[in-house]
Amino acid sequence: MTGTKFCKSCGTTGSPSASFCRECGAALTEEPSVDQSASNAKEQVNGGIVLYQQGDYPGALSKFEKAIEADPTLAAAWSDKGCALGRLGKRDAALEAFNKALEIDRDNREAREGKDLCLRMVNSSQEAS
Ligand SMILES: [Zn+2]
């Protein structure tokens, strides 16, 4: 896996020993494996958002969990997971997910708003605490 090179110009992959693209002659760069998993995570998040908007919250949740598996540092995946959990009535787990999102990115607006919403729901169902 490591050492594989690819062409930024046309996307052709080359052997580790190659310096130039055999298709277009552009200089080859090392394949960014980290970026690949990050883009996969974003794909999962986008797929989850589509399901979420269709009202398929369990389906959306599993997409967000796959996104987190691919990139545990993606704050958006955590806050979206929190939203899906909130819709499923799992407020404690939702709060945990929002907290995780804020841990990664404390300026994440979605996570802040989601957390506030969760806290309000918890407070309104437990008046005397
Ligand atoms: Zn090329």
Residue spans per domain, the chain: 1-31, 33-113
Please write the tens of the pLDDT for every residue from 55-87.
999 999 999 999 999 999 999 999 999 999 999
Global pTM?
A: 0.66
- Among the CATH numbers 1.25.40.10, 1.10.150.570, 2.30.110.10, 3.90.245.10, which is that of 33-113? 1.25.40.10
Helix (H, G, I), strand (E, B) or coil at 5: strand
Comparing 49 with 33, which gets the higher pLDDT? Answer: 49
- Name the average pLDDT for the chain: 87
Contact of 87 with 75, CB cutoff 8 Å:
no
Contact of 21 with 52, CB cutoff 8 Å:
no
Evaluate if residue 36 carries a pLDDT over 80. no
Comparing 119 with 83, which gets the higher pLDDT? Answer: 83
Rounded Cα distance, 76 and 121, in Å: 22
CA of 29 to the centre of ligand 1 (A): 11
CA of 19 to the centre of ligand 1 (A): 11
Rounded Cα distance, 44 and 23, in Å: 31
Helix (H, G, I), strand (E, B) or coil at 90: coil
CA of 28 to the centre of ligand 1 (A): 8
Amino acid identity at 71: D
Evaluate if residue 3 carries a pLDDT over 50. yes
Q: How far is CA 14 from the centre of its chain?
A: 29
